[in-house]
Structures are given as C-alpha cells and as structure tokens.
Amino acid sequence: MSEPSAFAQDEEQVIPGLTVRYTQLQDAEHLKNWLLDPEVSGWFPMANEAEVEDAVRRWISFSRVKSSLTAELDGVPCGLVTLYVQGYKKLQHQSEFGIIVASGMRNKGIGSFLMRSMMRLAKEQFRLELVHLQVYAENPAIRLYKRFGFREFGRQTHWIKETDRYVGRIFMERFL
C-alpha cells in the first residue's frame, strides 16, 4: 500500500506544515469535537452527542482498511475525509465519501488538499471509477465540490426535519 503522503503532491500543499496521513483510531476524539462544534453540527444530520458518537464510530471504522485520511497542520489534526468503500464486488467501482474540516481551519485550502488526496487515494489505491456524496442543499461546501468537477445528479427536498422546517439534500458525483 502507498503511504498517504503519496496521495498529496508537494505542489498541492498551500499551507506550510500541512500534511496528510491515514486516519487512526485516536482521531475519533478530534472528529467528535468537530461534529459537536455548533458551526459544524448544522451541516450534519446528527441531533445529539449519542448520534455523533455513532457517526464517529462509523467514520473511524474505515481506518481499518486505510480508506480514511487525516490532514494535520504542524502535527495537529485539522480535517478528515473518509471513503465508505464497499466489500461487495458489484459496488467496488464507486464510493460515497464524507469530509470535515475543523471550524477554525476553513477557507485555508485544507478542504481542497483533502479532496485532492482523497481522489488520488480512491483512484490509485482502491481503483474507484466514481466518488459521490450527499450534502445539505444550502451548504457552502457545494462550491468546493463543483470546483472539483462534481455534478448534481439528484435532490431530496424533505430530507431533514428540524422543528417545523425541512431541509433538502443534493446528491453529487464525479468520475475519476
């Protein structure tokens, strides 16, 4: 298996000290803190700490197959991307993914760094042909996904119900 540094090229590094490595089990605490951050939690469907802990267990479990990468700035985790790779042969050409960047670290190139690293990992290590995601319809990260060539392929208008308000989601995909 390639080392994770192979999935991020030097010319792509926009921030000195920004590196990528395979996600480890101990990254769970960082992921949990990011998901509980009020600036972040509004963009994820988990409603309480128990649901966040369940989501963290699922995200981090993919570290076993090395399909999750953690970005670090000067040795401190600042973002994470996970390919939810499938064991079923008929599904092994594609994968959904999830990405998160710590609230104080957004708009600095870390999301782009993680996206490039994830797409290289998907193509070179897992031989994926297609990656896809689902995102809140109003999430500003949609601009990032479009910049990386993701295209919308569907919508659900009543995905989340918070009190009396419905929030939709957009499905996006990109061939590698």
Q: What percent of the chain has pLDDT over 70?
A: 92
pLDDT, residue 7, reads 56
Please state the pTM of the whole predicted model.
Answer: 0.90
pLDDT, residue 14, reads 64
Residue 39: other Cβ atoms inside 10 A? 11
pLDDT, residue 11, reads 45
Across 111-135, average pLDDT: 97
Cβ(27)–Cβ(70) below 8 Å:
yes
Span of 32-41, 93-102, 127-136, 138-147 with lowest mean pLDDT: 32-41
Q: At a CB cut-off of 8 Å and minimum separation 6, what does 112 contact?
A: 12, 14, 144, 147, 148
pLDDT > 90? residue 146: yes
**42-78 b/e with 16+ CB inside 10 Å = b?**
eebeeeeeeebeebbeebbbbbeebbbbbbbbeeebb
Residue 131's closest CA among 76, 165, 84, 174?
174
Locus of tokens 């896809």: 132
**Tens-place pLDDT, residues 159-175:** 999 889 999 999 999 99
Locus of tokens 């966040």: 52
**Tens-place pLDDT, residues 66-100:** 999 999 999 999 999 999 999 999 999 999 999 99
Across 143-148, average pLDDT: 97
Confidence class for position 47, pLDDT limits 50, 70, 90: confident
Round the average pLDDT of the chain to a whole number and report it: 91
Confidence class for position 6, pLDDT limits 50, 70, 90: low
* Domains defined along the chain, listed by start: 4-133 (3.40.630.30)
Instruction: At 94, list the tokens.
Output: 């594609």
Cβ(114)–Cβ(73) below 8 Å:
no
